[in-house]
């Protein structure tokens, strides 16, 4: 491999001794050039370790002003809210957003990406399903279309990732709950639909051990995105079986916590932080409905605005200026104290 640094396609063409139009034609479709020419180009690619700026090439092809926005489950008010914030950023930048939802189905997620190719989008803002995603299909798509991932992290995929510091969420809440009462037990799904749950569990364990407490984790049975139903049903099981050695429960997300609050109500357990309450309950996300539960839910608020602004700005930088240096940005959450804990 040569030590020569190749900065652009013009330099690569000159070094390889092949015309710039022919090199460009190869990168758009390798089968469009003769086999002997293709062999020379590929030998030069290996020698100089050159990879073209696909996003700049797409810009040169004068793609549309369409920007795709893809979320896992649009009927979830959390994703509806973050999609709204992202859409606003896209419109403000002069692009036309098109919103898609995979509804928890990895096959539908792939179908959406395939359908978007026909629209020749300028770029895509993608919140992937995560654990269920067809990672190979997403990687292939992001090599062809400028894509910024948000909310759910997939390593080495797309231009960049912008999301929340989920371990910090749990640490912040554990610190608060331990300062104000008994240390919390952790209530999560045994098979989380979203990989952020795993990072929150890790943050909970680290924070509890740092404070000298034994982590206690209850794994709720159930799969899919019906979190409230799982929280209610499995909350009953946990509470009636004596699974919690303390009177404090931290739920992996607010939707599980909303179902758990219903289980407490049905079992006659008063939730809150006053002396007459039997149990404290907290969540994570600041779900749009969390302030309207009974009692209102103590939680960690995600920074929707910062996530959407940074994700959109990163995408537009790639589309308009060819800025494609990969980065991962994680925004911290904010403690929101309400009456449940």
Same fold, 64-163+305-330 and 166-301: yes
Res. 316: pLDDT tops 90: no
Q: What are the tens digits of pLDDT across the range 62-76?
A: 557 889 999 998 888
- CATH number (3.90.550.10, 3.30.420.40, 3.40.50.300, 3.40.50.2300) of 166-301 reads 3.40.50.2300
Q: What is the pLDDT of residue 76?
A: 84
Share of the chain above pLDDT 90, in %: 50
Tokens of 51: 């990879």
- Integer CA distances (angstroms), 78 to 38, 106, 206, 287, in order: 49, 19, 26, 6
Q: What is the pLDDT of residue 2?
A: 63
Res. 323: pLDDT tops 60: no
Alpha carbon of residue 175 to chain centroid:
25
Please name the residue that has the structure tokens 């990969």.
326
Res. 1: pLDDT tops 60: no
> CA 249 to CA 260: how far, in whole Å?
9
- Integer CA distances (angstroms), 26 to 4, 43, 47, 57, 241, in order: 22, 13, 17, 12, 65
Please name the residue that has the structure tokens 């062999």.
39
Q: What is the pLDDT of residue 183?
A: 98
Q: What is the pLDDT of residue 43?
A: 84
Domain boundaries, the chain: 9-52, 64-163+305-330, 166-301
| Terminal alpha carbon distance of the chain | 61
The CB-side HSE value for 16 (13 A sphere, CA atoms) comes to 28
Contact residues for 205 (Cβ-Cβ < 8 A; gap 6+)? 215, 217
Res. 37: pLDDT tops 90: no
Cis peptide before 265 (omega within 30 of 0): no
More confident site: 328 or 23: 328
Average pLDDT over residues 28-50: 79
Average pLDDT, the chain: 88
Query: What confidence tier does 61 reach under pLDDT thresholds 50, 70, 90?
Result: very low
DSSP conformation class of 275: T
The DSSP secondary structure of 299-337, one letter per residue, reads EEE--HHHHHHHHHHHHHHHHHH-----EEEEEPPEEE-
Res. 254: pLDDT tops 80: yes
Q: What are the tens digits of pLDDT across the range 81-124?
A: 888 888 888 888 888 898 999 998 999 999 999 988 878 888 99
CATH of domain 64-163+305-330: 3.40.50.2300
Instruction: Write out the H or E segment, with its range, that includes residue 180.
Output: helix 166-180
The CA dihedral of 129, 130, 135, 140, to the nearest 10 degrees, is 60
Please name the residue that has the structure tokens 């605005």.
305
Tokens of 24: 């460009």
Res. 130: pLDDT tops 50: yes
> CA 207 to CA 255: how far, in whole Å?
22
């Amino acid at each position: 491999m040569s030590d020569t640094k190749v900065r652009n396609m013009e330099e690569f063409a000159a070094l390889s001794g092949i015309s710039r139009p022919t090199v460009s034609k190869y990168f758009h479709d390798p089968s469009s050039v003769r086999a002997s020419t293709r062999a020379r180009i590929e030998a030069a690619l290996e020698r100089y370790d050159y990879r073209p700026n696909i996003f700049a090439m797409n810009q040169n092809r004068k793609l549309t002003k369409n920007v795709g926005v893809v979320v896992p489950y649009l009927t979830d008010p959390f994703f509806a809210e973050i999609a709204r914030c992202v859409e606003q950023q896209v419109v403000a930048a002069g692009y036309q957003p098109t919103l898609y939802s995979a509804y928890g189905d990895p096959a539908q997620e792939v179908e959406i990406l395939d359908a978007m190719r026909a629209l020749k989008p300028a770029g895509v803002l993608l919140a992937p399903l995560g654990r269920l995603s067809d990672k190979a299909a997403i990687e292939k798509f992001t090599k062809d279309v400028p894509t910024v991932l948000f909310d759910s992290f997939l390593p080495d995929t797309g231009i960049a990732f912008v999301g929340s510091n989920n371990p910090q969420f749990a640490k912040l809440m554990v610190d608060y709950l331990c300062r104000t009462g008994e240390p919390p037990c952790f209530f999560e799904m045994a098979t989380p639909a979203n990989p952020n749950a795993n990072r929150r569990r890790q943050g909970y364990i680290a924070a509890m051990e740092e404070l000298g407490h034994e982590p206690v984790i209850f794994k709720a049975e159930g799969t899919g995105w019906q979190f409230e139903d799982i929280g209610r049903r499995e909350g009953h099981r946990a509470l009636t079986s004596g699974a919690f050695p303390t009177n404090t429960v931290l739920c992996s997300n607010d939707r599980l916590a909303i179902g758990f609050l219903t289980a407490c109500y049905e079992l006659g357990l008063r939730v809150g932080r006053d002396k007459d309450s039997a149990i404290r309950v907290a969540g994570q996300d600041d779900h749009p409905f969390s302030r309207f539960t009974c009692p209102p839910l103590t939680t960690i608020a995600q920074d929707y605005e910062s996530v959407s602004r940074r994700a959109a700005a990163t995408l537009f930088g790639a589309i308009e200026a060819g800025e494609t240096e990969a980065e991962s940005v994680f925004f911290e959450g904010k403690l929101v104290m309400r009456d449940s804990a």
